[in-house]
Amino acid sequence: MKKKMVSTLFLAAVSSISMAQKTFDVNVTNKSKNDRKATPVVLQLKQYGVDVKSAVVTKDGTEVPCQLDDFNNDGIYDELCFMTDMTKKSTQTFNIQLLPTGKPREYKPQVYAEMLMSNKKIKSSNKQDLYISSLTVDNGTNPYWMLHHHGPAFENEMVAYRIYFDHRQTVDTYGKYRKGLEIKETQFYPDKNQKAAGYGDDVLWVGETFGLGALRGWDGTAPQMLKDVDHRTLRIVSRGPLRTIVEVIDEGWNTMNAGKEKIDMTARYTLYAGRRDCFVDVRFSKPVPEYRFATGIINVKNSEEMSDKKGLRGCWGTDWPVSAKDSAGHKRETVGLGICIPAKNVVKELPANKDNYPYVIGNATDELHYNITFGSDNEEFGYHSAKEWFEYLKEWKEELNNAVEVK
C-alpha cells in the first residue's frame, strides 16, 4: 500500500513537471525570393500555459540566443524572441523549451539602452551616471533639460536613436562609422578624443519637425504636438540582449481632433540587433477609426525625395546636425531617412514643405503600426547615394510586407 502511494505521488510529481514545462518545435518559413538577414521571430507566451522563468532555443542541436520580455512588470514574461538569417524559399526548425524555473540565460549583448538624469556635480565630462528606467510627469512639466540626451537613447551595432521627452516626442538619430555599441561610452555626445578615435555622433537636426516618424495630432489643417497631455511617461521596457524596447505613454491626450474626446496612447519603439530599422507599435485606449494623426520625416535641406504613393517615403540630403549656434566642432552630415506606413492607414500624403515630408494617417482600430529607418553616409558598411538608399527602401518595404511564417 505504501509502495503504491509513493509510486502514485511520484507519477503525480512527474505529471506536474511535465505539464509545467513545454518543449516543442517551431518552423519558420521564408516564402520570398530574397535572402533575409536578422529576421526576428517572436512568440506570444500566454498561449502555452506556462509561467515562464527561463527558455532555451536550439537549431540543429546548437543553442540560439533568445530573449524574454515582461511588458507590464507583473513578473510574468509575455514574449520570447530570437533572431535568424534565412535564404530565399527556405524553412528552418527551432526547438523551444519553456521552463518554469531558473532565470533568463545570459548572452552577449547586441543592443543597449539608457535613460539618465543630468548630474550637475559632473562638470569635467560628458558622462552622466544617474541611470533610470522610467519617468512620469504631469501636464505642464517639461523634463527635457533635466535628462541627459533629453530622453531615452537606444542602439544596436549599426544605428542609434533617441526620443525627446517633451511635447515633440521627436525621434532623433546617431550615425556610426563602424559597427559596434557606443552609447554607453559616448552617451550620444562624443568628446573630441572619441571623435578622433572614430566614434559616431548626432547626424540629424530635428527642431520641431517630425524628425524620423514622430506621431502627432491633426486638427484638420496642420500637425499638432502633444502639448495637452495629463501624464507623460517614457520608460525602457527592455535592454537586450537582442532587442531594446522603449515606450512613450501619453495619458489623457487631447489630439486636437474636433469634437473627439481625449485618449490614452502608448507608442512602443523596438530595435532589433542587426537591423537599421525601428518598429513603431502604437496602442490606443479605445478604437479610433475617425481620429486623424500626422507623421512623416524631416525635409533635410536640399534633399532628394522618393515615394511610392502607398505609404513608403524617403529622402537623402545634407545639413548641419545641430542648430547654427551649436555648429562649432561639427560637420555637415549626409543622411538617408525612411518611413513605411501600411497603405490602409494613409489618409493623405501631403506635399513636402520647408520642414517635413508629411502624412495624414488614420483608419486605425485600437492599434497602429509603422516602421522607420535611417542611414548615415559616414558608415563603412552602409549606403552612400540617394540611388542606393532608395533601392534599399524598396527592398525594405518588400520585406516588411512579406513577413516570415511561423508555425
Give the pLDDT mean for 26-44: 97
Angle at CA of residue 142, ends 140 and 148, nearest 5°:
170
**Which pairing describes strands 66-69 and 62-64: parallel, antiparallel, or unpaired?**
unpaired
Looking at residue 123, its pLDDT comes to 59
Cα–Cα distance between 42 and 81 in angstroms, integer? 4
Q: Which residue type does 363 have?
A: N
Q: Ramachandran region of residue 122, left (φ > 0), alpha (ψ -120 to 50) or beta?
A: beta
**Cα separation of 176 and 191, whole Å?**
14
Cβ atoms of residues 339 and 372 within 8 Å: yes
Which part of the chain is CATH 2.60.40.1180? 21-99
- Condensed to tens digits (0 to 9), the pLDDT of residues 241-298 reads 999 999 999 999 999 999 999 999 999 999 999 999 999 999 999 999 999 999 999 9
pLDDT at residue number 328: 64
Backbone angles phi, psi at 294, to 5 degrees: -135, 145
Residues 6+ apart with CB under 8 A from 226: 167, 168, 169, 216, 217, 232, 250, 253
> What CATH fold (topology level) applies to the domain 21-99?
Immunoglobulin-like (2.60.40)
Report pLDDT digits (tens) over 375-404.
999 999 999 999 999 999 999 999 999 999
- pTM score, two decimals? 0.93
304-326 per-position pLDDT tens digit: 999 999 999 999 999 999 866 66
Residue 330 banded pLDDT, cuts 50, 70, 90 = confident
CA–CA gap between residue 324 and residue 306 (Å, rounded): 28
CATH architecture type of domain 111-406:
Distorted Sandwich (2.70)
Q: So what's the pLDDT on residue 11? A: 41
Reported as a single tens digit per residue, the pLDDT across 72-121 is: 999 899 999 999 999 999 999 999 999 999 999 999 999 999 999 988 77
Query: In the chain, where does the domain assigned CATH 2.70.98 lie?
Result: 111-406
- CA count, 13 A, side-chain hemisphere, 50: 25
